[in-house]
Amino acid sequence: MKKVIIISLGIIGIIFLILIGISKYSWSDDITINSKANLLSSLELMQKQLTTKYPSTAEEVMFEYTELLRFQYTQKSDEEIIEQSIPLMRGFYAKELLALNAKERQIELLKEDVAKCQAEKNYLVDSRLVETDYPDDDTVFIIIEHNFVSGTLYKEYKLIKEEEEWKLYNWHDIVIPIIN
């Protein structure tokens, strides 16, 4: 009987250690994702993926776009991350938006905004799709919730079909009323 209890406790101990190891590995993985080297590697991988297969839905475009925002507004972001992510972002823009938005000016403004957020320790934690509205086959409005350390920001993005690809046409901040 004593032997059975000791073996049972040993098995429980081993299971407990395995669970701690899995938990610790997941935590370490999250930390690694936020390293500059990993951000640069992720940008490089995203570039390769977008070159071979552009997202087929508006929702997939927004997922990739918000990932780029997360890379830019993380604690580990810097000028190199910004400069490498802007061309990827611009790949999601409609021709009209590209014409109105010079790349150099976009980089300059983003560097200023990211520096301000970093000075305030206000990083983008995550983003999620809140609502999708397709008024027709070639237009979609998507509301995204961007969660920063300091609070939540909602934006409505308009995407249009351009040469059979979903492209960002414009966006603006919105206020979502809270109903009690």
Please give the C-alpha separations between residue 117 and each of 51, 52, 106, 112, 137, in angstroms, as whole numbers: 31, 33, 16, 9, 37
Q: Which domains does the chain have, with CATH numbers?
A: 38-174 (3.10.450.50)
Tens of pLDDT along 37-94?
Answer: 888 888 999 999 988 999 999 999 999 999 999 999 988 889 999 999 999 999 999 9
Considering the entire predicted model, what is its pTM?
0.77
Tens of pLDDT along 20-44?
Answer: 343 332 222 333 445 788 888 889 9
Tens of pLDDT along 137-171?
Answer: 999 999 999 999 999 999 999 999 999 999 999 99
3-state helix, strand, coil in the chain (%, to 5): 55, 25, 20
Q: Which amino acid is at 178?
A: I
